[in-house]
């Protein structure tokens, strides 16, 4: 298998910061509600309730990749057809990681086909800290 391509452009690093900030925002929403219902692809165009995170396929895959890479931070429940989403909660480790932003500067991964890519995000802006 070929290794993912390492993206280094200013645009790619800026976009990676945007993705990482969304990942933290996702975790903030989980912390706020205790359980957040995650729909990776809102293809039914359902309205988003306050305790839900309905996403587009690409951006939803970015969130799912974050969850998959940090399995000790998240508890994922079973898919619920009525809500068209699955419940996600933070573990104690996840709450701690959110507080100290563990892994903030780790690579963001993406790409719909192998081998994909990875890019290190820019440093957060001062107002983001």
* Tens digit of each residue's pLDDT (9 = 90 or more) over 22-62: 999 999 999 999 999 999 999 999 999 999 999 999 999 99
Q: Does 128 score more than 70 pLDDT?
A: no
Domain ranges for the chain, please list them.
5-110
Task: Specify the pTM.
Answer: 0.93
In words, the CATH class of domain 5-110 is mainly alpha
Give the integer Cα–Cα distance in Å for 116 and 83. 31
Give the integer Cα–Cα distance in Å for 88 and 78. 9
Give the integer Cα–Cα distance in Å for 46 and 31. 23
Of 100, 80, 19, 96, nearest in space to 88 by CA: 80
Per-residue pLDDT of 59-93, as tens digits, reads 999 999 999 999 999 999 999 999 999 999 999 99
Angle at 53 (CA atoms; ends 51, 59), nearest 5 degrees:
170
């Amino acid at each position: 298998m070929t290794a993912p391509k390492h993206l280094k452009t200013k645009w790619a690093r800026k976009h990676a910061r945007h993705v990482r900030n969304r990942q933290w925002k996702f975790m903030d929403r989980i912390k706020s509600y205790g359980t957040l219902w995650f729909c990776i692809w809102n293809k039914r165009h359902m309205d988003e309730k306050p305790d839900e995170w309905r996403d587009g396929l690409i951006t939803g895959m970015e969130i799912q990749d974050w969850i998959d890479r940090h399995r000790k931070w998240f508890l994922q429940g079973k898919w619920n057809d009525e809500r068209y989403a699955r419940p996600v909660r933070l573990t104690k480790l996840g709450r701690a990681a959110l507080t100290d932003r563990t892994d903030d500067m780790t690579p963001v991964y993406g790409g719909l086909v192998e081998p994909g890519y990875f890019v290190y995000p820019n440093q957060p802006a001062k107002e983001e800290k």
